[in-house]
Amino acid sequence: MRYLLVEDNIQLARAISDRFALEGHVVDHAKSLNEAREFMDLTSYQLILLDIMLPDGDGRFFLKTHRVNKNTTPIIILTARSEVSDRINLLDLGADDYITKPFDFRELEARCRAVLRRQDGSADNKLELSGTILDSLEGTLKTGAKIEKLRNRELRLIEIFFSSPEKIFSKNHLMDRLFSFSEDISENAIEVYVGRLRKKLDNSHVKIETVRGLGYRLISLK
């Protein structure tokens, strides 16, 4: 996935870009609206993350012209304001969603996912391993005719496995990515979700294997 981040605060922009990179997304950073327009002329993006207060103008103005030009690329606004009136205004102007700073990255991710899901699901969002297809936008796991609906955490867990089959993920790593920092979760919680996924992967050629002492990995049985 390729995202465009329009944010004048360089530190924040760098942090967000780094954070998205960890999830395997590419983020181009534009420091101003003009830069953003230049980026958009060069390449196309699946999603735009837009700050409101920018040195060369108001993000809302950009949003408006974006929609007037019939550009369908979804936009999520990053706002430092909590006012609901702002929010309503933003949605009216054509924003797909917004998130108030500071944010839990997982929430941003979830919102991105939700916005993208509302777009037509493209092939990019589907990962396949040994005949089992993970549609991360739909949140489904398809093995032949059998379609398993995944809950949020299950989806995010299996996404991690599908993004790097054969790679071993430690329990700690998985916990970090699955649970928020405010939650006190025991390591066993991962086992619960792994257990659920295994159940949903029954009758498929894909399996989550426990690597004793190290963690879990996704393997193909073919």
Partner 1 sequence: MRLLVKNGSIQRRLAVQLSLVAGILSFGLFMLIQVVAETAAVDTQDKILRASAISIADSLYAENGKVRLELPYAALSMLGTISQDRVFYRVLFKEKTLTGYDDLPVQAVEMLERKNKFSTFQYRGEEVRSVLIKRSIAVDGVFSDAIIIVAQTRLGLNVISQKITRTATTMGVLFFLFGTGLSVWAAHVALNPLNRIAQAVTQRGPKDLRPVTGNSPSELKPLVDALNSFILRLKSSALRTEDFISEAAHRVRTPLATVRTQAEVIHRSLDKSKNKTALRDMIRALDESSRSAGQLLDHAMVNFRSDQFSPSEINLLDILKEVCNRLSPLAGLKDITINNEFQEDNCLFRGDAILLHNAIRNILDNAIKYSPDDSIITVKCHWSKKIIVSFEDAGRGFSGNEYTKRFTRGTNVGDVIGSGLGLTIANEVAIVHGGFVLISKNKKGVGSCVSLILPTF
The greatest distance separating any two alpha carbons of the chain, rounded to the nearest whole angstrom, comes to: 56
Residue 180 binds partner 1, judged by CB under 8 A: yes
Closest CA to 114 of 196, 160, 30, 47: 47
- Give residues 118-177 in contact with partner 1 (rule: CB under 8 A): 151-153, 172, 176
d(CA 75, CA 20): 16
Residue 55 binds partner 1, judged by CB under 8 A: no
Is 127 in a helix, a strand, or coil? strand
d(CA 73, CA 21): 20
Angle at 110 between CA 87 and CA 66, to 5 degrees: 50
Site track for partner 1 across 69-108, x = CB under 8 A: ---------x-xxxxxxx-------------xxxxxxxx-
Residue 210 binds partner 1, judged by CB under 8 A: no
Of 128 and 176, the one with the shorter C-beta distance to partner 1 is 176
Residue 12 binds partner 1, judged by CB under 8 A: yes
Catalog residues that contact partner 1 under the rule CB under 8 A.
9, 11-12, 14-16, 18-19, 22, 53, 78, 80-86, 100-107, 110-111, 113-114, 151-153, 172, 176, 180-183
